[in-house]
Every structure is written in C-alpha cells, then in structure tokens.
Amino acid sequence: MTRFAHGVSALRSSEIRDLMSLATSPDIISFSGGMPGNELFPLDRIDNIYRSLTEKEKQVAMQYGPTNGLPTLLESLSQYLEKKGLPVGKNRLMMTTGSLQAINILAKAFVDPGDTVLVETPSFIGALSAFRSYEANLVSLPLRGDGIDTDALRTVLNSAGPRPKFLYFAPNFHNPAGIIYSEEVKRRMIDLLRDQDIPLIEDDVYSDLYFYEEDVPKMTNIKTMDPEGIDVCFTGSFSKILHGCLFAQLFTGDSR
C-alpha cells in the first residue's frame, strides 16, 4: 500500500480554493473572493506595454530568472518600498507569487509539528491553511476595532506554555475584519514582543487601496517603525495594487 508522509494527514481542502470554486459559478455573485470583474482589466494598455518591448526584452521575459527575483524588478521594488518608509537598505527582498507564498515559505522555515503560532481571530484563511499544513498549533488572539487584543497577547506571553514561533497579523484593511490597526496597539505590541525572540509576520497587502487621505498616517507599519529587539518579516502583493486601481477606476471614472 502506498505510504504518504506523516504531514499529509494534516492537509485539508483549501478554503480559498473552495471560495474560488463558488466565485466562478455562473449563478453566483460572490463578494467573498475580492475578484474584480474581467471587463475591468486594462487589456489595451497591457498590450501596448508588450508591443513597446524590444525582441530581446520579450525573450528575457519568457526565460527562467533568479529564484529571488529579477534584479531590475527588485531594484524597482526597493525604490517603491523606500517611498513607503520601509528600511529596505538593511533588509533582504525576495519575490514570491503573492503574499501567501511568502507566508508558506516562512511557515516552512519556522514551524515544526506542534509548534505554537499566534494568529488573530478572525484571520486570513489562506495563512491559517498554510500554518495548519505544517501542523502548527494555532493560538488565537481576539481582534478588536483597533487591532489585536494586547491584554490577551500579554497573557499568552506570560503563560507557562511553549514559546510561540511567531505572530502573524494583517495591520491595514484587515481581511476579513476590515480594520486598521491603531498606532497605540502597534506600540503595545512592540513593547510586549521586544527581546522575546518571537518574529512578527506583518502581512500588508491592502494599504495602497485607501480612498481617504486621512487614513494614510494611520497605516504606518511596524516594519517601517523598525523597532529594536524584534524581527519583522514584511509581506505584500502586486495583485492587490492592480485590482485596487481597477476598483478606483470603476468608482471614480478615472482612466489613468
């Protein structure tokens, strides 16, 4: 009889796959997957970009590249992140297929079966699935209107249980709660986690999707604060920026 690896027993159907299966059903209008309408994609502009490339550039685009990302793309990304205030110069960048692959790589690097991982309740289902696939013990912390419950975090850190491997959180336009973490909550998290050897995974894929300028100062990342005594792994996503531009065009009529 075929013998599978022990870790296979922890695998379950992906919740995101299930959501996408429902979203593509012709008789369902789904608000769960965050998918823009196909008719909103700027195909003409994408075609124009492709036609403007030289033959050599097209050949390079079809070829395998370095596993950590194309150097030219990494350079452009560095400039973009520096404008957001992130300390790029003292960190390393790696290209992944969306934030979820980055989360999966981090889980693979950190988590042994039974290890404790701190997560929000509610939390991004894709991240929870990734952590469970490596047999993590998920310890949930309640989410309030301005961020994670830091009293609950303090209780967990002061308990006699196993030291958590890391804390995963989504600070801006949280999926699915929709909240923005307050600066006060982020400061309390820093105070509680400093010198605890518990890395933070800061999953910020939505901060570019704001409609109101007054929200921008609220969305300073802990990675941007660059606190001493805490390792912060920052993850993001290009797809949300593209989709956000499409939604902005839909609601404002701006064709830029």
pLDDT for residue 194: 96
Cis peptide before 164 (omega within 30 of 0): no
Cis peptide before 87 (omega within 30 of 0): no
> What topology does CATH give the domain 98-247?
Aspartate Aminotransferase; domain 2 (3.40.640)
The conformation of residue 142, written as its DSSP 8-state character, comes to E
**Contact of 219 with 208, CB cutoff 8 Å:** no
Per domain, the residue ranges of the chain are: 98-247
What is the spatial order of strands in the sheet that 147-148 belongs to? 147-148, 137-144, 116-121, 166-169, 200-203, 232-235
Tens place of pLDDT for every residue, the chain, 256 residues? 677 776 666 666 666 666 666 666 677 766 666 666 777 788 888 899 999 999 999 998 888 888 888 888 899 999 999 998 999 999 999 999 889 999 999 999 999 999 999 999 999 999 999 999 999 999 999 999 999 999 999 999 999 888 999 999 999 999 999 999 999 999 999 999 999 999 999 999 999 888 889 999 999 999 999 999 999 999 998 887 765 554 444 444 444 4
User: Residues 152-155: contacts with CB within 8 Å, 24+ apart?
Assistant: 153/118, 153/189, 153/192, 154/192
pLDDT for residue 115: 97
pLDDT for residue 245: 53
**Contact of 223 with 92, CB cutoff 8 Å:** no
**Nearest one of 143, 151, 152 to 174, comparing CA atoms:** 143
**Contact of 106 with 233, CB cutoff 8 Å:** yes
